[in-house]
């Protein structure tokens, strides 16, 4: 990401630039060429900079290229250096892309330092991943939920058993907090 674009995003995030002025100042190529944004994300991944990732996500949402960048979002679910897991899994869930299933399955079982750093982080992320798998709603995604409901990880098992009860239409599983 070039320094001028980065400064513009920071000004927007600090509300020093209006939404309209921000949109007018973005490079036209950002909207016309999905590789432009892809290269921004690849640069951020290479740098492993969580603040720059937030800036790239701002660009993603302003350009409406979420579907074109789903492979990047999937990859970001597996990166261990950032703090944007919840935002990313919410976007992946919206996409309902079956290609995301193996990434969600792996991410849900990872222990990310950032999520471990606050009390509800891990459980909340696991819950969101289960919701994302359920929203994809394919045989493969539902099979992953059932598979993970047998996990030896207590929180993962608890959240997936809750999800299974919803899938079965019972909605009677009480999570053990």
Question: Could you report the per-residue pLDDT of 1-56, keeping only the tens digit for each?
Answer: 889 999 999 999 999 999 999 999 999 999 999 899 999 999 999 999 999 999 99
pTM: predicted TM-score of the whole model, two decimal places: 0.92
Answer whether 143's CB lies under 8 Å from 135's CB. no
CA dihedral sign, ordered 152, 154, 155, 157: positive
* 48 & 112 share domain: no
* 57 & 79 share domain: no
* 44 & 110 share domain: no
Task: Give start and end residues of each alpha helix (H) in 14-153.
Answer: 19-25, 28-32, 34-47, 50-63, 70-78, 85-95, 101-109, 113-116, 121-136, 139-148
* 84 & 165 share domain: yes
Instruction: Tell me the Cα Rg of the chain.
Output: 18
* 54 & 124 share domain: no
Q: How many domains, the chain?
A: 2
Residue range of the domain that includes 61: 1-65
Question: Could you report the per-residue pLDDT of 61-89, keeping only the tens digit for each?
Answer: 999 999 999 999 999 999 999 999 999 99
Answer whether 158's CB lies under 8 Å from 176's CB. yes
* 152 & 79 share domain: yes
* 42 & 117 share domain: no
How far is residue 67's CA from residue 167's CA, in Å, rounded to a whole number? 26
* 132 & 75 share domain: yes
* 96 & 20 share domain: no
Residues in contact with 169: Cβ distance below 8 Å, sequence separation at least 6, in sequence order: none
* 60 & 75 share domain: no
* 79 & 17 share domain: no
């Amino acid at each position: 990401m070039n320094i001028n674009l980065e400064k513009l995003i920071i000004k927007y995030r600090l509300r020093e630039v209006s939404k309209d002025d921000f949109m007018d100042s973005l490079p036209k190529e950002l909207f016309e060429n999905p590789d432009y944004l892809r290269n921004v994300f690849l640069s951020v991944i290479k740098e492993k900079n969580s603040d720059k990732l937030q800036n790239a996500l701002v660009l993603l949402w302003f350009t409406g290229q979420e579907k074109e960048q789903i492979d990047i979002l999937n990859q970001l679910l597996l990166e261990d250096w950032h703090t944007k897991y919840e935002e990313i899994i919410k976007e992946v869930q919206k996409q309902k892309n079956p290609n995301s299933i193996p990434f969600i399955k792996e991410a849900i079982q990872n222990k990310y330092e950032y999520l471990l750093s606050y009390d509800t982080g891990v459980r909340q992320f696991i819950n969101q991943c289960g919701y994302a798998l359920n929203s994809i709603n394919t045989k493969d995604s539902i099979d992953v939920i059932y598979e993970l409901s047998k996990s030896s990880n207590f929180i993962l098992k608890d959240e997936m058993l809750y999800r299974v009860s919803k899938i079965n239409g019972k909605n009677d599983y009480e999570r053990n907090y």
